[in-house]
């Protein structure tokens, strides 16, 4: 299956290791990602300073480009970007006159519906899980993980289409298919503070502390994430959190695609693991992986 790949700004900058693990893993699973040409930023949290309908127009602009490149399905790994596209689809389905208006604004009349997906939605399907299990070269046996979904991957469910927004399972299922030990915990859908990282860092430290503490309490050796902002807040700010709260965590924060890459036999150096702030290698070596 061919997808128009929308990396968003993060996967080209702060989350390069998400990009460099996602692409080879998708290739191995038969998902062809073709990066959308001239894609524009979804508006991120900046959109709050503009009329909120602007984010719908930006999503339409990108979706028009998808159709112009002859594709009909988008793959969007960043949940913040993803939610903007899903929101645009949701609003224009409920109000068809908005769809027409937006088509005029971006100067493109859609012939088809552009489908928007997160890699987890595709990879955690039954058939794909079986395929993953078949392809695993290095089992993640003995590695104790918690899966952290954050906010926008699942909420609000009427927009995201999540089957259980309060208790999502897609990442848990995927990590179990790599034979990792996935722990139960209470913070899977908490908020990390997102873009307050640069402005109200105190908020990010508090919220990230709660999440790290939750992971520590159940004995997790690593946290698995699907969002560039969650990863950055929990990873790059971890030392600050430890200092402020007098705690010691040293918990690596992996993208689910990195652990898949390792399990599928992609060499660690190709996954750019060294870009993490909290070194993930000792946790993996400790259980005989790598």
Partner 1 sequence: MEITIPATVVSEFSDQLERATGININVCFQCRKCTSGCPLAYAMDFTPPQLLHAARLGLRDAVLGSKTIWLCASCETCVTRCPQDVDIVKVMDSLKSLAIRTGIEPAVPEVAYFYRSSIRSILAFGRVYELGLIGQLKLGTRKFRKDLGLGLKMLRKRKLPLLPDLSAIGRNWGLLSKVQKWERR
Q: Counting contacts by CB under 8 A, is residue 201 touching partner 1? A: yes
Tell me the site size for partner 1, rule CB under 8 A. 54
Tokens 């159709």 belong to 67
Q: Counting contacts by CB under 8 A, is residue 167 touching partner 1? A: no
Q: Find the binder of partner 1 among 180, 190, 214, 284 (CB under 8 A).
A: 190
Q: Considering the complex, what minimum distance in angstroms separates the CB of residue 78 from partner 1?
A: 12
C-alpha span between 165 and 73 (Å, rounded): 23
Tokens 């952290």 belong to 148
User: Toward partner 1, which CB reaches closer, 3 or 6?
Assistant: 6
Candidates 98-106, 117-125, 215-223, 278-286: pick the segment binding partner 1 (CB under 8 A). 98-106
C-alpha span between 107 and 113 (Å, rounded): 16
DSSP 8-state symbol, 248: -
Sign of CA dihedral 47, 78, 254, 12: negative
Q: Counting contacts by CB under 8 A, is residue 77 touching partner 1? A: no
Q: Is 123 helix (H, G, I), strand (E, B) or coil?
A: helix
Candidates 25-33, 219-227, 256-264, 269-277: pick the segment binding partner 1 (CB under 8 A). 269-277
Beta bridge partners of 75: 5, 117
CA distance readout (Å), 146 to 173, 176, 260, 290: 12, 11, 15, 20
Q: Find the binder of partner 1 among 45, 100, 141, 270 (CB under 8 A).
A: 45
Candidates 46-54, 115-123, 130-138, 241-249: pick the segment binding partner 1 (CB under 8 A). 46-54
Q: Counting contacts by CB under 8 A, is residue 207 touching partner 1? A: yes
Q: How many other CB atoms are there within 10 angstroms of residue 243's CB atom?
A: 10
C-alpha span between 20 and 153 (Å, rounded): 20
Report the interface residues with partner 1, using CB under 8 A.
Answer: 9, 12-16, 37-41, 43-54, 57-58, 61, 101, 105-106, 151-152, 155-157, 165-166, 189-191, 193-196, 198-201, 203, 207, 236-237, 274-275, 277
């Amino acid at each position: 299956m061919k997808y128009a790949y929308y990396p968003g700004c993060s996967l080209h900058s702060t989350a390069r290791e998400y990009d460099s693990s996602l692409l080879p893993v998708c290739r191995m699973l038969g998902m062809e990602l073709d990066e959308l040409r001239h894609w524009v930023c979804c508006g991120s949290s900046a959109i709050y300073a503009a009329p909120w309908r602007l984010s719908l127009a930006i999503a339409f602009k990108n979706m028009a480009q998808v159709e112009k490149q002859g594709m009909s399905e988008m793959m969007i790994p960043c949940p913040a970007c993803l939610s903007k596209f899903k929101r645009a689809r949701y609003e224009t389905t409920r109000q068809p006159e908005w769809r027409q208006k937006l088509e005029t604004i971006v100067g493109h009349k859609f012939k088809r519906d552009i489908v928007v997906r997160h890699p987890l939605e595709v990879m955690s399907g039954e058939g794909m899980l079986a395929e993953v299990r078949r392809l695993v070269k290095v089992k993640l046996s003995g590695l104790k993980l918690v899966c952290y979904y954050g906010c926008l991957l699942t909420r609000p469910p009427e927009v995201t289409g999540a089957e259980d927004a309060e208790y999502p399972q897609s990442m848990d299922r995927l990590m179990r298919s790599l034979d990792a030990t996935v722990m139960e915990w209470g913070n899977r859908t908490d908020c990390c503070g997102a873009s307050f990282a640069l402005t109200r860092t105190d908020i990010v430290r508090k919220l990230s502390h709660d999440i790290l503490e939750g992971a520590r309490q159940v004995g997790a050796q690593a946290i698995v994430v699907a969002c560039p902002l969650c990863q950055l807040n929990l990873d790059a700010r971890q030392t600050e959190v430890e200092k402020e709260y007098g705690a010691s965590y040293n918990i690596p924060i992996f993208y689910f695609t990195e652990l898949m890459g390792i399990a599928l036999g992609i060499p660690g150096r190709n996954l750019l693991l060294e870009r993490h702030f909290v070194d993930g290698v000792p946790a993996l070596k400790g259980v005989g992986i790598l």
